[in-house]
A = this chain, B = another copy of it.
Amino acid sequence: MSKNKDVLGEEQSGPLMADVARLAGVAISTVSRALANPGRVNEKTRQKIDAAAKQLGYTPNAMARGLRVGKSNIIMIVLPGSLYYGASQVIPQVLQSINKSLIQGGYNLMIANLDRDEASERHILDLAFGGTVRGAIILSSKLPEVDGRSLASAGLPIVSMLLDMSEVGLPSVVTNDREAIREATNDLLGLGHRRFLYLAGPQENYHDVERFAGVIEALRGAGLPESAVVRSGGRLDYQQGFNIGLEAADDFGALGDKPTAVIATSDDMAISFMSRIQSMGLKIPEDLSIVSFDGSPVCAFCSPPLSTIEQPMEEMGQTAVALLLSAIDRSDKPRQLRNVIRSRLIVRASMATPKA
Does A176 make an interface contact (CB < 8 A)? Answer: no
Closest residue of chain B to A276 (Cβ to Cβ) is B301
Residue of B86, B103, B113, B149 near A99 (CB, 8 A) is B113
Asked if A110 and B108 sit within 8 Å, CB to CB, the answer is: yes
Closest residue of chain B to A4 (Cβ to Cβ) is B155
The interface bits of chain A over 111-129 (1 if a CB of B lies within 8 angstroms of the residue's CB, else 0) are 1110000001001011101
Does A296 make an interface contact (CB < 8 A)? Answer: yes
Residue of B89, B91, B96, B113 near A87 (CB, 8 A) is B89
On chain B, the residues within 8 Å of A84 by CB distance are 92-93, 96
Q: Determine the distance from Cα of A253 to Cα of B278 in the docked complex, in whole angstroms.
A: 28
Residue of B11, B89, B149, B245 near A57 (CB, 8 A) is B149
Asked if A130 and B61 sit within 8 Å, CB to CB, the answer is: yes
Asked if A87 and B278 sit within 8 Å, CB to CB, the answer is: no
Given the known interface contacts A11-B70, A91-B91, A108-B110, the answer about A59 and B126 at a Cβ–Cβ threshold of 8 Å is yes
Asked if A59 and B149 sit within 8 Å, CB to CB, the answer is: yes
Given the known interface contacts A130-B59, A147-B54, the answer about A111 and B109 at a Cβ–Cβ threshold of 8 Å is yes
Does A281 make an interface contact (CB < 8 A)? Answer: no
Does A229 make an interface contact (CB < 8 A)? Answer: no
Given A12-B155, A110-B110, A302-B302, list of 5 further CB < 8 A pairs? A64-B131, A74-B110, A84-B96, A108-B111, A242-B300
Interface of A toward B, CB cutoff 8 Å: 9, 11-14, 54, 57, 59-64, 66-67, 70, 72, 74, 81, 84, 86-87, 89, 91-93, 95-96, 99-100, 103, 108-113, 120, 123, 125-127, 129-132, 147-149, 155, 240, 242, 245, 268, 271-272, 274-275, 278, 296-298, 300-303, 305, 331
